[in-house]
Each structure stands twice: as C-alpha cells, then as structure tokens.
Structure 1
Amino acid sequence: MATRGAYAKGVVKREEILEAALEIVGRLGYRSASVREIAEAVGLSPAGLLHYFGTKEQLLVEILRARDAHDTARFADLDFMPAFLEVLRHNAEVPGLVELYTRLAAETGDAEHPAHAFFLDRTRAVNAAAREVFVAAQKTGRIRADLDPDWIVRAGHALADGLQNAWILDPTVDMAADVAQFFALLRPVTPS
C-alpha cells in the first residue's frame, strides 16, 4: 500500500514540476530557464527534481510532451486544421517553448539523442492524423483531389517547422496566417 501512495505522490509531483517548467521555459526560454529555477518553483533541489526525470535532457523532452498534451486538451473541440492554427497562435504566446522545440528538433538527427524517439513518435502520430483529415477532406471535395495527401502532410509539417524557425528570428512572422494561406491553397479552385 505504501508503494502505491508513494507512486501516486510521485506522479502528482512530476505533474507539478511539468506545470512549473511549462510556465518558466515558456516565459524565459530554453537557455535562460535553469533546472535550479524550476526546482525552486516546486520546492525541490536540482538533484531532487532530476530524480523524477533522470536527466535535464529527459526533463526537456517531458516538457514538450506536456506542452503537446496541453495543446491537445485545449483545442480538442476543434477540427484538425482550425486546431492546428490555434496551436500556432498559442505558440506565439510561449516563445521559450517554441525555442525549446526547435532546438531539440534540430538535435534529434542523432539517434542517440534523448529526444529522438519523442520526435519520431510525435511526427508519426501527427502525420497520420493529418493524413486522415486530408484524405477525408479530399473525398468530400474540400481539398483538391489531385494533390498527394502524403505531400500535403510533408509540406505542411515542413512549413510549420520552418515558420517556427523564422518566427524565432523575426517575431513579426505570423505563423498561423502563413499556414492558413497554405490550407487555402489546398482548396479546389471554383470556376468564376
């Protein structure tokens, strides 16, 4: 029984850490947010905090996983394309999380990187969900049937990731507006 109680407390503490980390990294950024600052926010030492995650790198991966879970829950009532645009709009409010995502994504070409499996799994899941939406939209005539749905997914993914990089350099870039324009280009052309 004590183990279950200790496990439940550990799960709650881990969630508390991730909530604090989302706020701190989102506000301060990947480079400015420290393990010490996150640990202090939840009443732990840095070593105590890392006990829940193993390494700083694994903590960073779990922050991204928590970010995705929050975004999924926050926009769950929307269809895929409107939800995707809302996530991009929300990303502009949490620059540190965008910075964390882009930095870790760039490092995951190394199969040994702690974030490699996360990005691989995330990409597969997002791409599969997007492909399903695009194929269904093609069947109903909302998206051009002459476009390969796999190309749409790859191009959309590349556009979104590239826009995040561009936005980090120039925060006037409107990521959601550019992706909305891409979605508009997918619609069938109606004769005038």
Structure 2
Amino acid sequence: MTGREQSPPRGTRRGGGREAQRAERREAILRAAMELIAERGYRSTSLAAVAERAGLTQQGLLHHFPNKELLLVGVLEARDRWDLASAAAASGAGSTDLLAQLVDYNATRPGLVRTYTVLSGDSVTEGHPARAFFESRFRAVREALADALRSEFGDVLPGGLTPERAAPLLVAVMDGLQLQWLLDPENVDMPASFRDFLALLGAGAEPAAKPDGPPQAT
C-alpha cells in the first residue's frame, strides 16, 4: 500500500452525496412550508408556493412529498424535532416549566397551531394520511410526559395522581386550550390558562396573574 489514503468507491461517494442533497432539499421544503403557513395559514399555502419558496419546481417538491397532507405531516414532524432540540437546550428547567414555555411559544405561531389542530381532528377518519402519525405521536407524547413527570415528582404528583394518569390530562388540556384560543383569542389566554391547570394538578406552578386587558394573539 502507498502512504496515500485510498478514496472511497465512486458509487459510495456519489450515493452519500445524493442522500445529503436529498436531506437538504427536504429540510428546505419543510422550512419554506412552515414559513408560508405562518404567513398565510395552511389552507392558503399551496404546493406551488412552497416549491417556489424552496427554490424547486412543483414536480421536484412532489418527489419528496406526494401530496399536501403528507407535506403538512412532515412540517409537524419537523416542528416536533425542533421543539425537542429547544427543550434539550433548556434542560435545566423542570418538565412542567418546559411545558409552560412551549405553550408560551405556541401562542406566537398560530398558523402552525391551526395546522396541527385541523390535521389532528381530521386524522380520526379511517384512511387519513396523517392518522398513523397522530396515533404514534399521542402514544409517544403520553409516555414522554409520564416519564418527565415521574423524573420530576416521583411516583405520585402533589395532587395525588400518578404520572400515567396525569399525562393524558396534560395532552388534553394543551390541545383543548389551543382549539379554544384559535376560536376566541381575545378571551382565551392560553399560556395563563395552562399555568392555572398546572396549579390545579398540584405540579407546583402558581396560578397565572390576570392580565389588565384582553389577551391578544400574535
């Protein structure tokens, strides 16, 4: 053998490059879709507009996401990944503090919250392209919340519930508050109401102070 390192087989190098390029394009599509949904709402966000924002043809976009529903699921999956990354960066906070911060953050992005709410409701129908995503997501979220609550509080929360019994309530309250807030943002203060629920749950949060004026959606 010579002292020079051998190059990887050409096919391997080319294949790895293609996979990286595909991942970059997929990420660009998801970010473009997320931006447009935030700007216009999901119903007014077309595949053509997403393709243009991402610098692709519509046919190129369809190669990654064959229909709009699957693109929206991809956006929600990406949102979850980015939220988890943010939570990891703030890992010094307790689990309920992180949840309250997530609710605060969601109050700044109604377009994505609306997309999630509509898709999750539609997904209960048989054969919906997002059904498998939401079935898996809700199971994973309940398990993750139960683990987080157990890590923070032990086998019984201050209010007397086990983490497994409290986890579905947390999910239900978060999603239910999002729906009420989307329908009536001037009268439903989603972050304050969530903190009120944490206080009722006995998780150690103080009830939110009542604002001087009606809450405003961003």
If the length of structure 2 is used for normalisation, what is the TM-score? 0.79
Which secondary structure state, in structure 1, belongs to the residue aligned with residue 116 of structure 2?
helix
Q: Aligned equivalents of 2:118 and 2:83: distance in 1? A: 19
Corresponding residue for 1:163?
177
Runs of 4+ in 1 over 6 A off after TM superposition: none
Comparing 129-138 and 37-46, the one that deviates more: 129-138
Q: Aligned equivalents of 2:194 and 2:136: distance in 1? A: 23
Quickly say closer, same or farther: Cα 1:131–1:53, change in 2 above 3 A.
Answer: same
Q: Aligned equivalents of 1:25 and 1:48: distance in 2? A: 20
Quickly say closer, same or farther: Cα 1:43–1:139, change in 2 above 3 A.
Answer: closer
Contact 2:150 2:163 in 1 (8 A): yes
Contact 1:27 1:95 in 2 (8 A): no
Shift of 1:70: 1.2
Q: Aligned equivalents of 1:188 and 1:12: distance in 2? A: 41
Match of 2:86 among 74, 87, 93: 74
Quickly say closer, same or farther: Cα 1:128–1:13, change in 2 above 3 A.
Answer: same
Q: Between the two proteins, what is the percent identity of the paired residues?
A: 39
1:93 equivalent to 2:105? Answer: no
Q: Aligned equivalents of 1:138 and 1:159: distance in 2? A: 20
Contact 1:131 1:153 in 2 (8 A): yes
How many residue pairs align between the two structures?
Answer: 188
Corresponding residue for 2:128?
113
Corresponding residue for 2:209?
none
Shift of 1:116: 1.0
Shift of 1:20: 1.3
Higher relative contact order (CA 8 A, sep 6+): 1
Q: CA RMSD in A?
A: 2.0
Unaligned runs of 5+ in 1: none
Corresponding residue for 2:216?
none
Alpha-carbon displacement from aligned partner over 1:112-160 (angstroms, at most 9, x marks no partner) = 211111111111111111112223444387x326224333112211111
Unaligned runs of 5+ in 2: 1-12, 205-218
Quickly say closer, same or farther: Cα 1:42–1:32, change in 2 above 3 A.
Answer: same
Comparing 78-87 and 102-111, the one that deviates more: 78-87
Quickly say closer, same or farther: Cα 1:111–1:79, change in 2 above 3 A.
Answer: farther
Which secondary structure state, in structure 1, belongs to the residue aligned with residue 56 of structure 2?
coil
Amino acid at match of 2:86: R
If the length of structure 1 is used for normalisation, what is the TM-score? 0.89
Greater helix share, structure number: 1
Comparing 91-100 and 71-80, the one that deviates more: 71-80
1:53 equivalent to 2:65? Answer: yes
Shift of 1:45: 2.0
Comparing 3-12 and 63-72, the one that deviates more: 3-12
Quickly say closer, same or farther: Cα 1:180–1:34, change in 2 above 3 A.
Answer: same
Amino acid at match of 1:156: L
Amino acid at match of 2:185: P
Q: Aligned equivalents of 2:60 and 2:66: distance in 1? A: 10
Alpha-carbon displacement from aligned partner over 1:164-188 (angstroms, at most 9, x marks no partner) = 1111111232222111111112228
Which secondary structure state, in structure 2, belongs to the residue aligned with residue 133 of structure 1?
helix
Comparing 173-182 and 161-170, the one that deviates more: 173-182
Corresponding residue for 1:34?
46
Match of 2:158 among 144, 148, 153: 144
Contact 1:138 1:145 in 2 (8 A): no
